[in-house]
Amino acid sequence: MNLSPAIQFSVEHARNHIRDRKVLVITGAGISTDSGIPDYRGEGHVERHPMTFDTFTGSHASRARYWARSYVGWQRINEALPNQAHQLIAETNFSVITQNVDGLHQQAGSKEVLELHGTLSRVVCMSCGSIISRDEMDRLLHELNPNAQRDLEVEISPDGDAEIEVSEDFLVPPCSHCGGFYKPDVVFFGESVPQDRARKADQLVENHEALLVLGSSLSVNSGLRLIKSALKQEKPVVVVNKGPTKADGLVTAKINSPIVDCLPGLLND
């Protein structure tokens, strides 16, 4: 990929700040767009408003809507494959904090991945805490809704929410242990990152010498606070994102470019 002179200069400037340092990578939805998973706020993208924690927990109708849409969207998430950016990060053996819930870093071979916002591959009961796999949830949904269509070409979001009209008779299985309701094991908008996970993220920042942020607008505080923490510790922070971020003007270097275009130049001397 031939970079423009301006982007090439930005890459070289940024590389000087992370070269020969112990780098922690923080990723957002923008790293998975080349795997066919759209982001929430990317440049040129219409901002979407996913279901919040309060809405999901507030009514059975809201939960049925979520699971009906997820029943379609999960298939796309589950079939997605890591792209070149995921693979390059795995090859460097960098530690990763990801805001994504798609599991693509692990598929690419990254060994140390902290899933800050959880993972779509697990489902948890909100009453007793029992856990089942997303594949098991899929099986239960199919048994209850054998006529529900799922092979639809529709837009999805990073959390697998598909833009479809939902039938009022869509059925959702209760927890097999206590009869409570299931929730994907992800941090919804309006929900807090579990404290032990937040502490692990803080420890990773402390244990590294530089941060490389890829594909995140940093609009959510759970990610932005880690950048601010690193800067307070006087550690260089490099951000690669197509479009503005909340950390623009704060970080050591910002590259306004698709990740796969400039990542090889950032990581290779």
- Residues tagged active-site: 117
User: Residue 135 and residue 137: Cα distance in Å, rounded?
Assistant: 5
Q: Kindly provide the b/e burial profile for residues 7-33, where b requires at least 16 CB atoms within 10 angstroms of the residue's own CB.
A: beebbeebbebbeeeebbbbbbbbbbb
Return the bridge partners of 123, or none.
132, 184
Q: How many CA atoms lie within 13 A of 13 on its CB side?
A: 15
Do residues 86 and 35 make contact, with C-beta atoms less than 8 angstroms apart? Answer: yes
- Pick from 243, 245, 244: nearest CA to 226: 245
Sheet holding 131-133, edge to edge: 131-133, 118-125, 182-186
Distance CA 142, CA 149 (A): 10
| Inter-residue contact 223 to 247 (CB < 8 Å) | no
Joined together, the tokens standing for residue 207 give 């244990």
Instruction: Quote the tokens at residue 136.
Output: 């098991």
C-alpha 259/C-alpha 265 separation (Å) is 10
- Residues 248 and 255: their CA atoms lie apart, in Å, by 10
